[in-house]
A and B are shown apart, each in its own frame.
Chain A
Amino acid sequence: MSGLHDELSALLDDELDDGERTELEGRLAEDAGLAAELTRTAEIRSALRDLPEVDPPVGALEEVVNAIRAIEHGQRRRRRRRLVGSGAAMTAVALLVVAAQVTVPAAAVTPDLETAVGLHEAMNEVDAGGGAGLRSTHFVDGDDRVHRGFGRSDGRLVSVFSEPGRVDWDGLGGGSWSEVAGAKAWVGTVEGAGAVVVERQGVIVVVVGANDLIDDPTMASLVEQASASGGAQDQTWLDRFGEFVGIG
């Protein structure tokens, strides 16, 4: 398709300069095919412009706002902790960096369970008394997207987080060891919330509020689906999870 044809839309949109307009109008007077194309383009342009504004499904925007409030809440908690612990942490971090270089493979990380629990609790607060309508949400962090999935089991919130990586198991502290979906799992309590950490297929999966589900097939299903998503873009299982009722 030539530039001349491209100018048809520009003519309709009043985006041609005087010279271009005069030249194109001359061609249109001589070329019935071009004039017909202008008419057809005008029709589709008009149809597009007549499309109605789309109303979001009921509650959709409220869910988005609640999810962002939960993220904000979690970030505030995290900042407060950083401030409180900054003095002692400075020395500890320096030691940890040296130790990590010597003993921990570069890709291994200790999942930030406190933030996960903070987000979990924040979501619980902003959706206090909410039903099963919570949806998955996510948080963009550079090129990686950390997934946060929320759902309810018998009125109790369960949150799932996943991201690519390997677990530094030594950093998890007191807890017990188990197995989920054929993978090693850490089960423990963080600030009063039950937490499960699993590494499967190069993906770290953290489930908060669900340590009593450790032997339930639902937990294996959660972990399988979270790790199958690669901790990456696919929202499918999280979207389902947000709609899911009756976990466990």
Chain B
Amino acid sequence: MGDSDGSSDTGEVPSWEEVARDHGRFLYSVAYRLTGKHEEAQDLVQDVLLRVRRGLPGYRPGNLRGWLSRITTNAFLDDVRRKQRRPTTALPDDPDWVLPPSLAADEESARQSLPDDLQAALAQLPAEFRIVVVLADLVGSSYDEIADRVGIPVGTVRSRLHRGRARLREVLS
């Protein structure tokens, strides 16, 4: 899932629907690693595609996946900040309102979230650490690219990445 894998930039600006078709799996995968939940990943992908749709007129063909991962991390960070500003309380379960989940969907999710322990540990990382780890180890971004996308100095990238990995090590040990 490297930064340049599959970006297949042809010099033409794709439509948002082409982005969804050709890079939807990549977007979803990054979104899932960032949020740790399929529902939230789906919301994040929707937010990202809305931003892509708005941003495409100003997009200059180049590293499309780099651009997409920047949008994804920005959307994720905005969401984290919004939740911090306006914390919400989950509603109590109301059995009258909830259908039994689809078994097929659950099984699919379980398969896709393997290895569960590492994904669970990743989800426990504070968001600012998780973003750096996801960009470095799952998207394959360089420290300079991460610094640019997240808006932090390279030294902070270095520090957060190592501490994030160290925290994962502790949780898994």
Contact = CB atoms under 8 A, between A and B. Distances in A.
A61 B28 contact: yes
Contacts of B122: 48
B162 A6 contact: yes
Q: Size range of the interface on B?
A: 35 or more
Q: Size range of the interface on A?
A: 35 or more
Contacts of A67: 46
A51 B115 contact: yes
Contact of B50 (A44, A51, A56, A139): A139
B75 to A, nearest CB: 9
Interface stretch (B55-63, B64-72, B84-92): B84-92
A114 interface: no
B17 A65 contact: yes
Given A47-B118, A244-B99, A61 B165 contact: no
Contacts of B7: none
Given A54-B32, A55-B25, A233-B86, A68 B162 contact: no
B54 to A, nearest CB: 10
14 contacts: A13-B143, A15-B158, A43-B169, A49-B138, A51-B137, A54-B41, A56-B45, A60-B38, A63-B42, A138-B47, A221-B96, A235-B43, A240-B94, A240-B97
Interface of B: 1, 16-17, 20, 24-26, 28-29, 32-33, 38-39, 41-43, 45-47, 49-50, 53, 82-83, 85-86, 88-91, 94, 96-99, 101, 104-105, 108-109, 112-115, 118-119, 122, 133, 136-138, 142-143, 158-159, 161-163, 165-166, 168-169, 172
Interface of A: 1, 3, 5-10, 13, 15, 40-41, 43-45, 47-49, 51-58, 60-61, 63-65, 67-68, 71-72, 132, 135, 137-140, 143, 145, 221, 225, 228-230, 232-237, 239-241, 243-245
